[in-house]
């Protein structure tokens, strides 16, 4: 009996699927270089604080079982050191305390608008370092951030270029998921969709790395990209804010309250920074990760205290206090920017976490590692995607030409 195997014709793709694949291919090729740079530099920037800590030994001190020196003492020691080294006329801008084991920083403005950061041991007042310019590590990460945010172009040009490329990247992520989704689920398609065949030839391995790693990292890359575009386009940030809170985003015009400059008999305050430090310590003790006491420069400005919790690098997990520079009376902002974090709605809290989510520092080291891996995979997608496209367009032609040449040689 003669058996004829009739091969069924492949199921025709829908217009929607064909359009998705077309968009994925050409939008991906169009934005490839920018996406590669943004993801790679983003991955590097994740660990900036760790690099600073280990490459700048003056940031570290031995923990001692005694209280920190007061702000006025640290400022006085710093001024004496600067004066002794021919830097007279320095104006103090404030003091930054870190958690146990971190040095304290007094920042000054020198004549000619030149900055100086004085690092001291908070227990003894020993001068550890006077920094007048960015360190090598800081310069490196400034370069990295310029690539990440502006593609090393002028800000007004680079920012929208990077933002547009990131929006395109979001579209390619969605269309990539549509392309990845098998039209029919079988054991073979499941293996191709969820497993990397490490022992396959390099072309097959490249496809698996693009499809499988892209799938597993998609949600993380998508979140990192969305939280990044928020910084570029106000309309995008406003849309994300409204989606989270169901409220219109308030445009904050004043980020700090003002001191009362109308007082006639202004009291003479002695070491006000110490009084502010003591108030902050009574409220938070040594539970803070970083505390910045900023001194007023102009008549209407206030003393400001920013207390950061956790490891001190989280932006959302903080509280700010303002004090009239003439009376030390506590003053507050009357807009949402002055609301304590605990009083915000769930959506507002999420939006306030945007920077910490974007940089991967929201949950400390584990989320940093996760963000780094997601960024590296994100940077690899344009490369593996380009190789897939190149092999499908020209790879087969080259193989055919090579085989014909081999046949001619044998003949």
Q: For the residues of 233-278, what is the DSSP string, one character each?
A: -HHHHHHHHHHHHSSPPP----SS----TT-SS----SSHHHHHHH
Q: Are residues 150 and 130 in the same domain?
A: no
φ, ψ of residue 305 to 5 degrees: the values are -125, 120
In sequence order, the 6+-apart residues with CB closer than 8 A to the CB of 382 are: 28, 31, 32, 33, 35, 36
Instruction: Give the rounded percent of residues in the chain with a pLDDT score beyond 90.
Output: 67
Q: Are residues 32 and 149 in the same domain?
A: yes
In sequence order, the 6+-apart residues with CB closer than 8 A to the CB of 180 are: 193, 211, 214, 215
Selected residue with higher pLDDT from 257 and 116: 116
Give the strand order in the sheet containing 330-331.
127-131, 114-120, 104-110, 91-98, 290-294, 302-308, 318-324, 330-331
Asked, for residue 290, whether it belongs to a domain, the answer is no
Asked, for residue 270, whether it belongs to a domain, the answer is no
Q: Are residues 229 and 153 in the same domain?
A: yes
pLDDT of residue 48: 96
Residue 405 has pLDDT above 50, yes or no: no
Q: Are residues 231 and 91 in the same domain?
A: no
Instruction: Please give the model's pTM, rounded to 2 decimal places.
Output: 0.88
Q: Residue 152: helix, strand or coil by DSSP?
A: coil
pLDDT digits (tens, 9 = 90+) for 6-52: 555 556 778 888 899 999 999 999 999 999 999 999 999 999 999 99
Arithmetic mean of pLDDT, 369-396:
92
| Residue 91: Cβ within 10 Å count | 12
Residue 285's pLDDT band, with cuts at 50, 70 and 90, is confident
Selected residue with higher pLDDT from 257 and 138: 138
In sequence order, the 6+-apart residues with CB closer than 8 A to the CB of 36 are: 379, 382, 383
Q: Are residues 162 and 198 in the same domain?
A: yes
Asked, for residue 7, whether it belongs to a domain, the answer is no
Residue 351 has pLDDT above 80, yes or no: yes
Residue 396's pLDDT band, with cuts at 50, 70 and 90, is low
In sequence order, the 6+-apart residues with CB closer than 8 A to the CB of 87 are: 110, 116
Q: Which two tokens stand for residue 402?
A: 């090579």
Q: Which two tokens stand for residue 128?
A: 């550890």
Pair 178, 215: CB distance under 8 Å: no
Arithmetic mean of pLDDT, 137-152:
96
Final residue before a domain boundary, out of 134, 164, 185: 134
Asked, for residue 200, whether it belongs to a domain, the answer is yes
Q: Are residues 73 and 95 in the same domain?
A: yes
Q: Which helix (H) or strand (E) holds 403?
A: helix 396-410
Q: Which two tokens stand for residue 229?
A: 């575009």
In angstroms, the CA 209 to CA 384 distance is: 7
According to DSSP, the residues that pair with 97 across neighbouring strands are 291
Arithmetic mean of pLDDT, 121-147:
95
In sequence order, the 6+-apart residues with CB closer than 8 A to the CB of 77 are: 120, 125, 127
pLDDT digits (tens, 9 = 90+) for 295-326: 998 888 899 999 999 889 999 988 899 999 99
Final residue before a domain boundary, out of 104, 134, 164: 134
Residue 401's pLDDT band, with cuts at 50, 70 and 90, is very low
Q: Which two tokens stand for residue 37?
A: 């740079």
Q: Are residues 102 and 153 in the same domain?
A: no
pLDDT of residue 411: 44
Question: Minimum mean pLDDT among 55-59, 157-161, 406-410: which range?
Answer: 406-410
pLDDT of residue 9: 57
pLDDT of residue 398: 57
The CATH number of whichever domain residue 70 belongs to comes to 3.10.450
Residue 347's pLDDT band, with cuts at 50, 70 and 90, is very high
Q: Which domain holds residue 220?
A: 21-41+145-237+363-394
Asked, for residue 367, whether it belongs to a domain, the answer is yes
Selected residue with higher pLDDT from 105 and 341: 105
Q: Which helix (H) or strand (E) holds 321?
A: strand 318-324
Q: Are residues 208 and 65 in the same domain?
A: no
pLDDT of residue 5: 52
Residue that the structure tokens 């206030």 belong to: 302
Q: Which helix (H) or strand (E) holds 348?
A: helix 346-352
pLDDT of residue 86: 85
Asked, for residue 187, whether it belongs to a domain, the answer is yes
Q: Are residues 37 and 73 in the same domain?
A: no
Residue 2's pLDDT band, with cuts at 50, 70 and 90, is very low
Arithmetic mean of pLDDT, 149-177:
96
Q: Are residues 150 and 37 in the same domain?
A: yes
Asked, for residue 266, whether it belongs to a domain, the answer is no
Asked, for residue 385, whether it belongs to a domain, the answer is yes
Arithmetic mean of pLDDT, 101-116:
92
Q: Are residues 151 and 83 in the same domain?
A: no
C-alpha closest to that of 338 among 280, 279, 258, 281? 258
Final residue before a domain boundary, out of 134, 163, 183: 134
Maximum alpha-carbon separation in the chain: 115
- The number of folded domains in the chain is 2
In angstroms, the CA 291 to CA 294 distance is: 10
The CA-atom distances, in angstroms, between 132 and each of 108, 207, 247 are 10, 50, 44
φ, ψ of residue 119 to 5 degrees: the values are -95, 130
pLDDT digits (tens, 9 = 90+) for 197-238: 898 899 999 999 999 999 999 999 999 999 999 999 999 999
Residue 293 has pLDDT above 60, yes or no: yes
Q: Are strands 290-294 and 127-131 parallel, antiparallel or unpaired?
A: unpaired
Cα dihedral 180, 185, 188, 193 sign: positive
Arithmetic mean of pLDDT, 144-148:
97
Residue 336 has pLDDT above 80, yes or no: no
Q: Are residues 35 and 165 in the same domain?
A: yes
The per-residue pLDDT of the chain, averaged, comes to: 89
Q: Residue 54: helix, strand or coil by DSSP?
A: helix
């Amino acid at each position: 009996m003669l058996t004829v195997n009739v091969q069924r014709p492949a199921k025709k793709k829908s217009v929607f699927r064909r359009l998705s694949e077309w968009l994925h291919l050409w939008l991906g090729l169009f934005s490839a270089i920018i996406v590669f740079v943004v993801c790679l530099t983003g991955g590097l920037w994740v660990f900036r604080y760790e690099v600073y800590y280990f490459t700048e030994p003056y940031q570290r001190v031995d923990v001692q079982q005694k209280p920190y020196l007061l702000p006025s003492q640290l400022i006085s020691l710093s001024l004496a050191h600067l004066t002794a080294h021919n830097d007279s006329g320095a104006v103090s801008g404030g003091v930054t305390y870190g958690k146990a084991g971190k040095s304290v920083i007094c920042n000054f403005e020198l004549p000619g608008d030149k900055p100086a950061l004085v690092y001291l041991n908070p227990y003894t007042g020993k001068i550890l370092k006077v920094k007048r310019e960015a360190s090598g590590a800081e310069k490196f990460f400034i370069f990295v951030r310029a690539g990440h945010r502006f593609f090393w172009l002028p800000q007004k040009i680079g920012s929208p270029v990077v933002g547009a490329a990131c929006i395109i990247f979001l579209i390619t992520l969605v269309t990539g998921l549509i392309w990845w989704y098998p039209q029919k689920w079988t054991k073979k398609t499941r293996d191709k969709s969820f497993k990397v065949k490490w022992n396959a030839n390099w072309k097959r391995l490249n496809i698996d790395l693009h499809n499988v790693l892209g799938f597993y990292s998609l949600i993380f890359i998508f979140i990192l990209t969305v939280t990044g575009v928020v910084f570029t386009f106000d309309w995008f940030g406003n849309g994300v804010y409204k989606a989270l809170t169901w409220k219109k985003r308030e445009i904050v015009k004043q980020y700090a309250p003002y001191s009362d400059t109308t007082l006639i008999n202004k009291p003479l305050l002695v070491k006000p920074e110490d009084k502010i430090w003591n108030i902050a310590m009574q409220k938070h003790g040594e539970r803070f990760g970083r505390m910045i006491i900023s001194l007023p420069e102009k008549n209407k400005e206030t003393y400001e205290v920013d207390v950061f919790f956790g490891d001190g690098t989280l932006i959302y997990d903080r509280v700010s206090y303002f004090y009239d520079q003439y009376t030390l009376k506590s003053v507050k902002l009357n807009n949402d920017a002055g609301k304590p974090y605990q009083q915000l709605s769930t959506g507002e809290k999420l939006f306030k976490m945007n920077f910490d989510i974007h940089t991967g520092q929201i949950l400390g080291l584990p989320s940093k590692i996760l963000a780094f891996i997601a960024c590296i995979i994100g940077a690899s997608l344009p490369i593996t995607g380009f190789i897939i496209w190149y092999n499908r367009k020209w790879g087969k032609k080259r193989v055919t030409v090579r085989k014909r040449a081999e046949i001619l040689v044998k003949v």
